Amino acid sequence: MTIHTVTTTPFTDQKPGTSGLRKAVTDFQKPNYLENFIQSIFDSLEGIQGQTLVLGGDGRYYNRQAIQIILKMASANGIGRILVGCNGIFSTPAASGVIRKHKALGGIILSASHNPGGPDGDFGVKYNVANGGPAPEKVTEAIFERTKTITEYKILEAADINLDRPASFKLGAMDIEVMDSVEPYVELMQTLFDFEKIKGLLSSGGFRMSMDSLHAVTGPYAHALFEKHLGAPSGTVLNGTPLEDFGGGHPDPNLVYAHDLVEILFGDNAPDFGAASDGDGDRNMILGRKFFVTPSDSLAVLTANAKLVPGYKNGLAGVARSMPTSAAVDQVAKKLGIDCYETPTGWKFFGNLLDADKATLCGEESFGTGSNHIREKDGLWAVLFWLNILAVRGESVEQIVRDHWKTYGRNYYCRHDYEAVESGPANELMERLRSMTVELKGKQYGDYEVAYSDDFSYTDPVDGSVSQKQGIRIGFTDGSRIVFRLSGTGTKGATLRVYIESYEPDASQHNIETQEALKPLIKLADEIAKIKEFTGRDEPTVIT
């Protein structure tokens, strides 16, 4: 086997976003594009010789080809051992768990998360560090800087490795273990949740659930957990076979893209519980019978009921949420007497808090929740957490949420996404808002008076690092707020996200439809930001 050193030239568009480098498949298929980025990862890490890495992805188109390239490059660069998922499959949370369990140097996860797949879809590469979490900004910046100057990459000339079954191989001097990525994850979940209690619920015949894996990575994990270990009947898991194009669907677990599941849960003879997960398995959507649980409310309910779950029965060190996520969990933290941290969007910002034992549960409004068991958000973990609570309390999803609102008040909350808008006007909109923040305080808009406005910045309480320009916040004297952000997870144009929130402590006012309750603030958001004027859109692409 011969190691080749291949001459290359830099690409100018390889800056990682909040979740690694995401581009169209056709970009990654360009000669040397993937190779440049992978070599830049290896060049940016210290002490990689002889180290262990974890490798796998969500099964989308180009996953297998990319794995073969990365294996050969890892061997050529002196990596000692690679743990790769059977069939190239590794959910993001499962990979995080294996990185931690095997004390690996890190992992390379191949996914574009909730973005569409297939030959005309998207692909992504993300590097996770030794704690199992996404690389912090100092690491991704170093990788990006290297992509600007790279002149060569190393790759081993060798035959492809058989990924179809667990086995051990030698590739040059490097050891490869093709492993079952499902069982280690199941074993980890068994340390956190009362499987016997949940099994009693799912096998009783009186409780039914539907789990939609959207033809993405969690299919094999969901089959093993719910139908094998927890006794749910066959057919509980829908769309459980990972497909390279996700069956032509959009692997995003929200009310729009998981519409088949929504129709089941809001239809006749609906199951008691429904859930969906995304492309790489780190997001979740929770539904009751004819009832949708917002991700912000989900985090708050999990926090309030954590002591019912074995892995969290001793209480929580603290909780953390991303800035755009509603303040529902803040109300719970206050009552529990624990700290609640507000961070920028991006799971990497939770890593230091989890490592320092300042937070136990974390969540984002973008359908992501997780805990200190790994350093990623974890879709199936959230589903199991809900099932554990349902099994203990013996109440419906809707009853539990409504009881929560009575105790803590209701945070009416929604997110409006304007997808694939032109980047230029979207950036102009944000710059205009940024320039307005200094003069908005005290301004009156109808019944709303601005209490504060700023461009959110975050100082990490653990390492002191500062992250600026994380979203425009406009807060009002009644506790309502509007937040504007440009998302870093899309690959076409820009996605403008608008978050609207209003707190209602009066239980008699908790039955208003969300969009109706927030109607004045939604109108105000468009008025302040001139959304239609800048984007040309009359309405959002997705409302969640």
Walk across the sheet containing 284-288 and list its strands.
237-238, 209-212, 273-277, 284-288, 291-293
Q: What is the mean pLDDT of residues 474-496?
A: 86
Tell me phi and psi for residue 201, to 5 degrees: -70, -50
User: pLDDT band at residue 348, thresholds of 50, 70 and 90?
Assistant: confident
pLDDT number for residue 291: 97
Which sequence spans correspond to the domains of the chain?
A: 2-181, 185-408, 410-543
113 is catalytic: yes
Domain 185-408 sits in CATH at: 3.40.120.10
- Indicate the average pLDDT of the chain: 95
Cα three-residue angle 279-197-216, rounded to 5 degrees: 10
User: pLDDT band at residue 350, thresholds of 50, 70 and 90?
Assistant: very high
What's the CA gap between 133 and 349, in Å, rounded? 10
Q: What is the mean pLDDT of residues 325-353?
A: 95
Give the side-chain half-sphere CA count within 13 A for 433.
Answer: 31
User: pLDDT band at residue 542, thresholds of 50, 70 and 90?
Assistant: confident
Q: Helix 92-101 crosses helix 379-393 at what angle (to 10 degrees)?
A: 90
Walk across the sheet containing 339-343 and list its strands.
339-343, 318-322, 361-364, 368-371
Residue listed under structure tokens 């529902």: 328
User: pLDDT band at residue 491, thresholds of 50, 70 and 90?
Assistant: low
pLDDT number for residue 492: 67
Lowest mean pLDDT among 31-45, 138-152, 164-178, 478-492: 478-492
User: pLDDT band at residue 137, thresholds of 50, 70 and 90?
Assistant: confident
CATH 1.10.10.10 fits domain 2-181: no
User: pLDDT band at residue 489, thresholds of 50, 70 and 90?
Assistant: low
pLDDT number for residue 493: 80
Where are the strands (E) in 180-327, listed by range? 209-212, 237-238, 273-277, 284-288, 291-293, 318-322
What's the CA gap between 108 and 115, in Å, rounded? 18
Contact by Cβ (8 Å): 406, 508? no
Check whether 287 has a pLDDT greater than 90: yes
Residue type, 236: T
Judge whether 2-181 and 185-408 match in fold.
Answer: yes
Pull the structure tokens for residue 27.
């970009």
User: pLDDT band at residue 431, thresholds of 50, 70 and 90?
Assistant: very high
pLDDT in tens, 179-207: 999 999 999 999 999 999 999 999 988 99
Fold of the 410-543 domain = TATA-Binding Protein (3.30.310)
pLDDT in tens, 13-30: 999 987 899 999 999 999
Where are the strands (E) in 357-480, listed by range? 361-364, 368-371, 410-421, 444-445, 448-455, 458-459, 466-467, 472-476
Tell me which of 113, 366, 480, 502 is the catalytic residue: 113
The pTM of this model reads 0.94
Of all residues in the chain, the percent with pLDDT exceeding 70 is 99
User: pLDDT band at residue 490, thresholds of 50, 70 and 90?
Assistant: low
Q: Reduce the DSSP state of residue 519 to 3 states and report it.
A: helix
Q: What is the mean pLDDT of residues 40-68?
A: 97
Cα three-residue angle 175-179-184, rounded to 5 degrees: 125
Q: What is the mean pLDDT of residues 495-502?
A: 96
